[in-house]
């Protein structure tokens, strides 16, 4: 038989607040920048053989539900869903107000409405549909984690080809 003492009866805290180190934020920003620059580099040399990470716009039904949620939460007009730039701008404006709880609610609700991102090669019949809506980048790929994602490994191979063969890369891929 075991005996309970006073300390074991204390309620446990399941929510813990963590502060994010500035260095982690900086590393994340550099990783995003590397993924953007590599996508632009590959687009230049590989054109339609460039492997991109694409994230489509929100579906209209989800936009309506999201706007309805914000209205009910007393945050009407906080998020402009016109396009990825207006979403990004309105989220940054909300963050700048300093109310982290409102920003966190808006961000989490927005993220739950996003469609799944996917990998694709550029299709010349659909120009301009390669944007990463969630990050608001016109071209984006995965380059920074080749030990975790196969897509990154493929992108590394494409970069190696472009550095070795330059303008002839596109023909080599065929």
Q: What is the mean pLDDT of each run of 10 residues along the chain (174 residues)?
A: 52 63 91 95 90 90 91 86 89 87 87 89 68 88 89 93 93 82
Query: So what's the pLDDT on residue 172?
Result: 87
Provide the CB-side half-sphere exposure for 66 (13 A, CA): 23
Give every CB contact of residue 70 below 8 A, 6+ residues apart in sequence: 76, 77, 78, 79, 106, 109
Cα–Cα distances in Å, from 54 out to 37, 117, 129, 173? 15, 6, 8, 21
Tell me how far apart the alpha carbons of residues 139 and 153 are, in angstroms, rounded to a whole number.
Answer: 18
DSSP state of 126: S
Tell me how far apart the alpha carbons of residues 17 and 126 are, in angstroms, rounded to a whole number.
Answer: 45
Nearest residue to 38 via CA among 136, 143, 120: 143
Tell me how far apart the alpha carbons of residues 168 and 108 are, in angstroms, rounded to a whole number.
Answer: 44
Nearest residue to 142 via CA among 131, 156, 129, 127: 156
The whole-model pTM stands at 0.76
CA angle 81, 86, 89 (to 5 degrees): 125
Query: So what's the pLDDT on residue 103?
Result: 86
């Amino acid at each position: 038989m075991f005996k309970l003492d006073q300390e074991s009866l204390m309620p446990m805290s399941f929510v813990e607040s963590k502060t994010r180190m500035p260095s982690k934020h900086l590393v994340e920003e550099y990783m995003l920048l590397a993924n953007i620059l590599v996508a632009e580099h590959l687009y230049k040399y590989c054109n339609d053989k460039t492997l991109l990470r694409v994230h489509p716009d929100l579906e209209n039904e989800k936009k309506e539900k999201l706007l309805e949620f914000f209205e009910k939460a007393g945050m009407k007009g906080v998020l402009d869903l016109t396009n990825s730039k207006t979403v990004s701008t309105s989220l940054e404006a909300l963050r700048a107000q300093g109310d982290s709880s409102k920003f966190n609610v808006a961000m989490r609700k927005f993220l739950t409405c996003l469609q799944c991102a996917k990998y694709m090669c550029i299709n010349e019949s659909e120009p301009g549909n390669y944007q990463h809506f969630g990050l608001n980048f016109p071209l984006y790929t995965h380059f920074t984690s080749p030990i975790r994602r196969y897509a990154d490994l493929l992108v590394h191979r494409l970069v190696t080809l472009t550095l070795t063969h330059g303008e002839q890369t596109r023909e080599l891929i065929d």
